[in-house]
Chain A
């Protein structure tokens, strides 16, 4: 797991002249950002796009052309317009569900990890029980029980089924922070529990929380798509999932109407891949052990690291691997890093 106090550790290593050196944004980060930004812009574009998603502009599966970039869907609606509206809905559901899940997860994790005792037992017991029941099942059951699902109810339902793994991870982090000295200082100075949790513990796990949130958002978007494709989508609204649902129901794939199903498929893939990549690159920003320098800085140590890696791979030289915790100790991490250099270049 990432060390929550990463920036402090790094202070020593970074030269004073450039305080921003510690934030090395990798290519991977920029690729992820472009992907996510593209999806967000697509969702926003629905507001300025001239055709509404419910406007009938043609008949069943009109091919692209004639002023329509992606033709029409099974209702004769403009696919581009439906896609924009659907992307927006999916993003809203993802955001709301992500906020709900992360809030519950962080609250449960913080309290159980920090307070400990029977409260921890109880909360973690509940978490483990919820974690053991597959969430898609609970989602299906709740969705068929709702008299009518709107995008908001769907988002909240997805959120309240997705929190347990965040809670477990946050608990592990919080209980490690709980043993640090500054917590004792805060206690001795008379801070109350909520204040200690929010001011003294939360900042240390904030980076982790942000990453968990990113994954929750993409997870929620995919959960919504899965539910919608099963026929449990938000009623009267377009989402990426409902778009696929209708395309499948009206045989778009078999009849070769690629314009009806490829756009939402591609956007869902981009969302999923983009958010995963974003999380991975944020992990690198927050966790110095995973960090890879920019090209310029890499050059300085490249020779030494290559040498180390080669030496280690050949396993002929003795190396002190005790300092794996220290980001500056190149011995062990370099070997891993040499291999890890992959990713999206």
Chain B
């Protein structure tokens, strides 16, 4: 009952957020004075040899193709209908490829780099942070300072430094791209081995930053828990150190688990620029290309996917938290 009310309330807020996000996603690019098609047509016809008449024809066909001649509300309904059936439209920039195809090609690369980086970074970061908090002293000092520095550093800056240091100067890894020229993506062992050598650098740059951030968070949580009243109580009761460490660890882990869920939610949009730096063919690079070509359908589709992923992840975390922790549920339904 109480849980039901909590879930209903959260669901309502996230639905509102979803509607707001989808509307923003539709409306904002359409507020552009002029028309996105103008840019495309002027790009297409830059060569010169096309007469004004032909230009008009191309223009008109684009306008009908993208439904820009209809009133705004009708465009919105069409947009909603298409989004819910999973059709993200046709790309302006690489017409007539569908946006679904473009994203379908890019998404696996992004996920392949980021999911392992997030999970491994999370495990290592929490381990490092907890050990730093429990051991203290010089160990903690150096770990904390370097983690703070790493987590404060913009992730793309680290990518640039690693790319230059390890690929250009040291020559350990290939410079940019995801596979050697002449290879075509497939699941054959030879291609996978080739892709793996390009994989390390983006993976490394993401994992290092993630370890830093997680270690900082885990360390401060563990230190906070170390000073908790229940720790003193347990000590006064004569409970052994190992048992107390277990308590502390379990309590410090909760927020970290939330962090993991949220990171997986922000996965797609988490490292857009890393891909740019390494010229990796993921969603970030696709977005970059779309922005430079004014390819609105692609931009909109990417922003939509990222937003929905983040909203769903947030929602799941809040629901799980409501189930796990009754205090949050009570606070949210105003029964505190």
- Give A residues with C-beta under 8 Å from B: 125, 128-129, 132-134, 136-138, 140-142, 144-145, 147, 222, 225-226, 229-232, 244, 248, 253-254, 256, 258, 261-262, 265-266, 268-269, 272-273, 276-277, 312, 315, 318-319, 321-322, 324, 332-333, 335-336, 338-345
Contacts and interface: CB of A to CB of B under 8 A. Distances in A.
B141 A254 contact: no
Contacts of B145: 342-345
B270 to A, nearest CB: 9
A254 B31 CA distance: 39
- Name, among B33, B152, B153, B288, the residue most crowded by chain A CB atoms within 10 Å (CB to CB): B152
A248 B278 CA distance: 10
Given A268-B157, A318-B236, A140 B299 contact: yes
Given A253-B163, A273-B152, A230 B311 contact: no
A112 B295 CA distance: 40
A336 B152 CA distance: 23
B136 interface: yes
B288 A133 contact: no
A294 to B, nearest CB: 18
A140 B148 CA distance: 28
Interface string B133-166: 1001000111011001100111011001101100
B226 A141 contact: no
Interface stretch (B21-29, B48-56, B68-76, B178-186): B21-29
B13 A125 contact: yes
A145 B152 contact: no
B149 A137 contact: no
| A interface, over-half SS | helix
Nearest to B300: A141
A56 B144 CA distance: 44
B257 interface: no
B83 interface: no
- Name, among A136, A140, A344, the residue most crowded by chain B CB atoms within 10 Å (CB to CB): A140
A269 B153 contact: yes
A343 B232 CA distance: 26
A191 to B, nearest CB: 29
* A-B residue pairs, 5 tightest by C-beta: A342-B141, A321-B232, A141-B28, A339-B136, A132-B17
A147 B273 contact: no
B40 to A, nearest CB: 14
B226 A335 contact: yes
B296 A133 contact: no
Contacts, number: 168
B33 A147 contact: yes
A276 B14 contact: no
A339 B220 CA distance: 10
Interface string B235-272: 11000010010000000000000000000001001001
B287 interface: yes
Contacts of A272: 152-154
A45 to B, nearest CB: 22
B5 to A, nearest CB: 15
Given A141-B25, A343-B144, A343-B145, 13 more contacts: A132-B21, A136-B272, A137-B306, A144-B29, A225-B156, A226-B156, A253-B160, A253-B277, A256-B168, A268-B157, A269-B157, A342-B141, A344-B148
B154 A134 contact: no
B307 A230 contact: no
A322 to B, nearest CB: 8
A136 B306 CA distance: 10
A265 B21 CA distance: 33
Nearest to B26: A141
A265 B17 contact: no
Contacts of B24: 133, 138, 141
B227 interface: yes
B200 to A, nearest CB: 16
B32 A335 contact: no
B130 interface: no
Contacts of A254: 168, 175-176
A232 B156 CA distance: 16
Nearest to A247: B160
B310 A276 contact: no
Nearest to B225: A336
A338 B136 contact: yes
B335 interface: no
B288 A230 contact: yes
B291 interface: yes
B276 interface: yes
A131 B166 CA distance: 37
A132 B141 contact: no
